[in-house]
Chains A and B, each alone.
Chain A
Amino acid sequence: MTISDLITMARQNLWRTRLRTMLTLIGVIIGIGALISMVSFGIGLERNITDKFKSNDLFTSLTISTKAFNFKGGPRGRNKPEQKTESAVPLNDSLIASIQKRPEVAIAYPRLTIPVRAALYHDTSETNIGSLPMSMAKYPPYNQLYDGRYFSSDSALEAIVSLDFLRQLGLEVCTKDKLANYQQTDTALTLALSDTLIGKELSLYSASLKSNSPFAMMGGIENMIGEEETKVKIVGILKEEQFSGPAMREEIILPINTAKKMPSLGFDRISDMISNKNKGNQYVSIYVKTKSMDDLGKLKKFLDKQKINYFAVDDGLAEMKKAFLILDSVLGIIGLISLLVAGFGIINTMLMSILERKREIGIMKAVGGKNRDIRMIFFFEAGFIGLVGALGGISLGYGLTRIANLIVNNQYMKNADEFVDMFSFPWWLIGGSVLFSIIISLLAGLYPAIRASSIHPIDALRQTG
């Protein structure tokens, strides 16, 4: 018998009892549909998160800091950072220059974070400002601002603000082209057009140290610390990004030299102030962007040799991937359970088929069919159910995920710039589902096939009908 004969016989025999075949198929379709939609959700989630990281170049950058963080965790320190000793190498302009010279480095600059009180119109908000050099203009997310433009120079009195910061000032912002279909998410806020904010003056009040003498403290804090105003012009508005670029969490960004010149306290902790620990131009952290992910590895080796502490997002990526693997496995197991139930349905269907076709089996044996031929006929019928069920299940799973996507995007993400696909269907998931379904079906068909092949032809031929 050829494969073609077996497929034809399987198709004809299953069609003969089509109602029973359909009911068995439904079990397989639901099993595969559940498996594929759940696993595709896990894969889609991972893809969306890592794509966000990649689109913000987070896999080609690291932050050098005075202290290091270890996210390896363990039974005791699970998910808790362990602080290492402070870096012996001072984080200053000299270090930045030497790092910038390295062939794998694209950009290196100090990360400045200055707490300010920001005032726009008549509202104020306390926040932190960050800073960026001009060279960051071509990298995401700064090359795709919500509205406006990047800075004109490293010393311009300009600012880029985030939508979140504007929300804190009571403003919900949208662009002119989206105004017609815009649905306000918070009616307590005032809806404002983004282009009306571009060019507006923003006042930044930062604390400055009048004197760090302990004697000055005796006269009260106001003798030591004052507040100075810096006026800047809003030139750009940053999109909301869950995993923003280098100036993460800072809601106002200034050009780097402008930020350096801003009055500030110059220290993180009171003890540093008293010990006058931060001398001159030392920074708390330095941001470094490499040319590629491989170059990031080279840079890390260099920094490790120099005993310079750093944090790179991709260090946590391995742990994140493990977590996603566990999630995908759990989702897959849940989907698998329904497929296993379908497998029992196949066994039941095949055994009933053998009972009904006992005489037919006897005839096939009488005219020269070997035990192996009989086994293969029933094996192929089981496999056929698995194959057709898999194709139906993939269609069902895909259809359900499209509906879920539509509902989520239309109901919960109305104002998003782009459609978010929560599911991912890599080729290996499709192929693996088909293969898995066929394997489960063949395993289910194994016992019935053996049973059919061991029927005695005379006993079978005595069956009437």
Chain B
Amino acid sequence: MLDIYTNHDMIELISVNKIYGKGQHQIVASNNISCTIREGEFVAIVGKSGSGKSTLLHLLAGLDTATSGKILFEGTDISSFNANQYAQHRLNNIGIIFQSFNLIFSKTALENVMLPLIFAGYATTARKQKAQQALELVGLGDRMHHKANELSGGEAQRVAIARALVNDPKVLLADEPTGNLDSATTQEILDILLSLKKRGKTIIMITHDQEIAAQVADRILTIKDGLLSE
């Protein structure tokens, strides 16, 4: 495999902890995690349910804040961001794909994909064009005017991928992207992710399935009881 990595560290975690609750009832979801993810890497984080992998993804996305430690994104410490700064960070740099798709059912596929572009301040025509391109990239150009609740699981996940890509983020975070899909559809999604990886996207995928991780990832990290290891 060609080494397409640059020396550019995209994300660096330094002694990151996330603790819920206090005293006797506290839960350590992330335990002193340190790692580096480089630009263009496809990293899979594998762990069982409750191991803390989703928490880690939430911290990377800025959906939650670390109790201690630092998270650097292209050298910028994002661990002390406020809610609005995190939102801007997600808008500019991060695309998130959720296990349960998290589409707005009352909106069409096109409207769901356009959502980040509305927050980014794109004009109506430009936003429509970009959304259409993103949907065509994931093979859903002919379904863009269907409501999200009219799509199959695989189609819904592809719309979610299109939405995650539409702002051309630097990093894609995928939380169990194939968790709710059958094997055929799973393969379709993985193929899409691989194609994105080939285009140079940095991808971090959370999964409980070791085989899936081995199929697509350049590097596999294991998480257990909040502790991360290679």
Report A's interface with B, CB cutoff 8 A: 1-2, 4-5, 16, 359-360, 362-373, 457-458, 461
Q: Mark B92-104, 1 if CB is under 8 A from A, else 0.
A: 1000101000111
Residues in B96-129 with C-beta less than 8 Å from chain A:
96, 98, 102-104, 106, 115-116, 118-121, 124
CB distance from B206 to the nearest CB of A (A): 14
Q: A371-B83, A371-B87 are in contact. Are A366 and B118 (CB under 8 A)?
A: no
Please tell me which stretch of B8-16, B56-64, B217-225 contacts chain A, meaning at least 4 of its Cβ atoms lie within 8 angstroms of it: B56-64
A-B contact pairs, 7 of them (CB 8 A): A16-B106, A363-B104, A363-B115, A364-B119, A365-B87, A371-B84, A461-B98
CB distance from B112 to the nearest CB of A (A): 9
Give the complex CA separation of A458 and B120 in angstroms: 21
User: With a CB–CB cut-off of 8 A, which chain A residues contact B91?
Assistant: 367-368
The number of residue pairs between A and B whose CB atoms lie closer than 8 Å in the complex comes to 60
B104 touches A368 (CB 8 A): no
B58 touches A368 (CB 8 A): no
User: With a CB–CB cut-off of 8 A, which chain B residues contact A458?
Assistant: 58, 63-64
Give the complex CA separation of A371 and B92 in angstroms: 16
User: With a CB–CB cut-off of 8 A, which chain A residues contact B83?
Assistant: 370-371
CB distance from A31 to the nearest CB of B (A): 30
Closest chain A residue to B93, Cβ basis: A368
B63 touches A457 (CB 8 A): yes
User: With a CB–CB cut-off of 8 A, which chain B residues contact A366?
Assistant: 61, 63, 90, 96, 98, 102
A1 touches B96 (CB 8 A): no
Give the complex CA separation of A373 and B120 in angstroms: 11
Q: A363-B102, A458-B63 are in contact. Are A1 and B87 (CB under 8 A)?
A: no
Q: A5-B118, A458-B63 are in contact. Are A370 and B106 (CB under 8 A)?
A: no
User: With a CB–CB cut-off of 8 A, which chain A residues contact B132?
Assistant: none
Interface of B is mostly: helix
Partner of B119, one of A360, A362, A373: A373
Q: Which 6 A-B pairs have the closest CB atoms?
A: A368-B91, A370-B87, A367-B116, A368-B119, A370-B84, A368-B90
B104 touches A360 (CB 8 A): yes
B84 touches A372 (CB 8 A): yes
User: With a CB–CB cut-off of 8 A, which chain A residues contact B163?
Assistant: 367
A370 touches B61 (CB 8 A): no
Q: Interface centre among A365, A366, A368, A373, by most B CB within 10 Å?
A: A368
User: With a CB–CB cut-off of 8 A, which chain A residues contact B76?
Assistant: none
User: With a CB–CB cut-off of 8 A, which chain A residues contact B58?
Assistant: 458
CB distance from B55 to the nearest CB of A (A): 9
Interface of A is mostly: helix
Q: Does B17 contact A (CB under 8 A)?
A: no
Residues in B118-165 with C-beta less than 8 Å from chain A:
118-121, 124, 163
Q: Does B167 contact A (CB under 8 A)?
A: yes
Closest chain A residue to B113, Cβ basis: A367
A1 touches B121 (CB 8 A): yes
Give the complex CA separation of A458 and B29 in angstroms: 15
CB distance from A465 to the nearest CB of B (A): 9
A368 touches B102 (CB 8 A): no
Q: A1-B121, A2-B121, A457-B63 are in contact. Are A367 and B115 (CB under 8 A)?
A: yes
Q: A458-B58, A461-B102 are in contact. Are A368 and B116 (CB under 8 A)?
A: yes
Q: Interface centre among A1, A2, A367, A371, by most B CB within 10 Å?
A: A367
CB distance from A18 to the nearest CB of B (A): 12
User: With a CB–CB cut-off of 8 A, which chain A residues contact B90?
Assistant: 366-368
Partner of A368, one of B64, B87, B103: B87
Give the complex CA separation of A30 and B98 in angstroms: 46
CB distance from B160 to the nearest CB of A (A): 10
User: With a CB–CB cut-off of 8 A, which chain B residues contact A1?
Assistant: 118-119, 121
Give the complex CA separation of A4 and B122 in angstroms: 12
Closest chain A residue to B95, Cβ basis: A367
Give the complex CA separation of A5 and B123 in angstroms: 10
A370 touches B121 (CB 8 A): no
Q: A2-B121, A364-B115 are in contact. Are A370 and B88 (CB under 8 A)?
A: yes
Give the complex CA separation of A457 and B84 in angstroms: 12
Give the complex CA separation of A5 and B88 in angstroms: 19
Closest chain B residue to A372, Cβ basis: B84
User: With a CB–CB cut-off of 8 A, which chain A residues contact B106?
Assistant: 16
Closest chain A residue to B89, Cβ basis: A368
A368 touches B84 (CB 8 A): no
Closest chain A residue to B98, Cβ basis: A461
Give the complex CA separation of A461 and B101 in angstroms: 10
Further contacts, 18 of them, CB under 8 A, given A1-B118, A367-B115, A371-B83:
A4-B124, A16-B106, A363-B115, A366-B61, A366-B102, A367-B90, A367-B163, A368-B87, A368-B90, A368-B91, A368-B116, A368-B120, A369-B115, A371-B87, A373-B87, A457-B63, A458-B63, A458-B64
Give the complex CA separation of A368 and B115 in angstroms: 9
Q: Interface centre among A5, A363, A364, A365, by most B CB within 10 Å?
A: A363
User: With a CB–CB cut-off of 8 A, which chain B residues contact A359?
Assistant: 102
User: With a CB–CB cut-off of 8 A, which chain A residues contact B118?
Assistant: 1, 5
A367 touches B96 (CB 8 A): yes
Closest chain A residue to B101, Cβ basis: A363
User: With a CB–CB cut-off of 8 A, which chain A residues contact B87?
Assistant: 365, 368-371, 373
CB distance from A450 to the nearest CB of B (A): 13
CB distance from B28 to the nearest CB of A (A): 17
